[in-house]
Chain A
């Protein structure tokens, strides 16, 4: 494998995995908070939080650039108090990908938690289990498959993230140039050979991930029937 094809691959995996982890933490927490009850307030909240999925990636990227940039509300605060700048960094890419992938986990998590039999949860409560322990030891283990399915969708979304990442992190070779950005730059530069190599790597990585995901979801499924 040519050396300059490994770098975008490793960077993509790093960014996508971290972004998925970040999105999962928030998706699970907010999915639990939104809960089983369907009210106008809760459903509106979920719809607003699903915006990143509906907005064009460039719009998402623009808002993130404005928010996280030097003169932005969050970015300015980070710059002043911690000297941190997220623009043009892989950390910024992680945040952009996480925001883009978050809605996928949120919906899957909320649905998965709602599908857990309330009788089981109530039984645990009568046995004296506190809410947090209940969530960790009863709800999550019962809902893990739905959450994992959402996380895998989020991973796929994060791996393919392009528009928002491009605006926030730029396409800096070796630092923020993920596979999708590297393919785009190669095509724009007229380097079709490099583009084809990178596309092939992207394809193989995606297939491997999908097969691993299918295996993960199948394992642990209780044998039905006899």
Chain B
């Protein structure tokens, strides 16, 4: 009995001795998946022993998590509006807020579907299902809704719209052919190049800009600041450019 207790204590000691390295939790918008995975590895190479844990979801969902006290260290959102709300609620350190990338909203169609000539064309019978992020919680969906509303098409297209939980889900539906068309970022379209075609770029009311900031309640302030600094560095800009992001 005593020997097994000793063994158990030894196992615990061994296990906890590995926990000295830091885990940095980065809450990033879904469209940053590929770029931030690569940048996460680059950061880990510079900080041996520390690990980057990527938490990907729609920006509003990430904000909700931080609001409710989820242990996040860095927040990168797909629009200024969500970061503004984070700042208003004192959830981020405003001194660390920086824009690090830009993107373009595009209308994509599933491979093999005839691309519409313009937005009004979407009302035709060819596009039975048009996927877009849910405007209530996804920045990409908000940009798309604004554009459609400005063109007087929002109400007209209601029956065809399929709101998704994040921009990548919209991309997936179009890539599978379940939705004939969809609104995603140019970078997302590039990620599924073979399965979707870009019909045209969509001019949004405000430019698509990604801000990054350190979360106010982070337990790894210095490491978080280092990560944010890496993201705005020229080295990261090269990586981001490779995935199709533009300069902020």
Contact = CB atoms under 8 A, between A and B. Distances in A.
A214 interface: no
Interface stretch (B13-21, B40-48, B57-65, B225-233): B57-65
A71 interface: yes
Given A88-B129, A88-B162, A185-B134, A190 B60 contact: yes
Interface residues of B, number: 16
B211 interface: no
B164 interface: yes
Contacts of B163: 170-173
B46 to A, nearest CB: 34
Interface string A183-204: 0010111110000000000000
Contact of B60 (A87, A172, A189): A189
Contact of A69 (B61, B134, B177): B177
B177 A188 contact: no
B178 A87 contact: yes
Interface in A56-88: 65, 69-71, 87-88
Contacts of B165: 166, 171, 188
Contacts of B177: 69-71
Given A188-B61, A189-B136, A69 B176 contact: yes
Nearest to A188: B137
Nearest to B166: A188
Contact of A185 (B64, B129, B137, B161): B137
A191 B177 CA distance: 32
B133 to A, nearest CB: 11
A69 B178 CA distance: 7
A55 to B, nearest CB: 20
B142 to A, nearest CB: 11
A191 B137 CA distance: 10
A187 B136 CA distance: 10
Contacts of B61: 188
Given A170-B162, A172-B163, A188 B178 contact: no
B134 A188 contact: yes
Contacts of A71: 176-177
Interface of B: 58, 60-61, 64, 129, 134, 136-137, 161-165, 176-178
